[in-house]
Amino acid sequence: MTLEDFYFISQIVAALGIMASLVFVGLQMRAQARETRLASMAEIMAEYRQGLGQMSSDRELLKTLLKSNKVGLANLDSTAFLQASLVSLSFLRVFEQAYIYRYEGKIDDRTWTSMQGMMSQTFQYRVCLDYFVLRKNDFTQIFVDFVEREYGDQLEEPRSRDTSPVPADEEAAQ
């Protein structure tokens, strides 16, 4: 073998080494992207579970939410209105964040389907629907468009204040 043959062999080995390192970097980037998606999902679900946990451990809050589902958000006294609004806002923000992550590709479609199934329960509560209708300008337009497309048949103007409050015995039963 001549010196020139050794030179060409070393060039081939170097080219193979570069190709192998590029493949390795590509695999690492793919794994990193997957980890980022999983971390995004875990973060959102932790916030959602935290909200559910706080809500389930506060009996007065549960009474307020049950009452708001029955009479509508607008028919609550100011303290209950604020309390129910803050809970609704919390759940809607988590749902909005999840949707934005999906929109940006940080959450894949399979993961989103699972998350949406769980979070769509938010819109089974009249209080969240009422809050969304009242304050939809506070949310991103892409989320508003999504909610109107997916849950538009459930959205209606919140019930206005009734002149007759919920009877005390009915409130205590809740």
Does 151 fall in a domain? Answer: yes
Does 132 fall in a domain? Answer: yes
112 within 8 A of 102, measured Cβ to Cβ: yes
63-117 pLDDT, tens digit per residue, is 888 888 888 888 888 888 888 888 888 889 988 988 988 888 887 788 888 888 8
Does 1 fall in a domain? Answer: no
Number of domains in the chain: 1
| For the chain, the helix, strand and coil percentages under 3-state DSSP, each to the nearest 5 | 85, 0, 15
Q: Which of 128, 42, 48, 126 is nearest to 88 (CA)?
A: 128
114-164 pLDDT, tens digit per residue, is 888 888 877 778 888 888 888 889 999 999 999 998 888 777 766 554 433
| Containing structural domain, residue 99 | 13-157+168-173
Residues in CB range of 157: below 8 A, 6 or more apart: 133
Does 142 fall in a domain? Answer: yes
Work out the average pLDDT over 21-33: 87
Give 18's pLDDT tier (boundaries 50, 70, 90).
very high
What is the per-residue pLDDT for 126?
Answer: 82
Does 2 fall in a domain? Answer: no
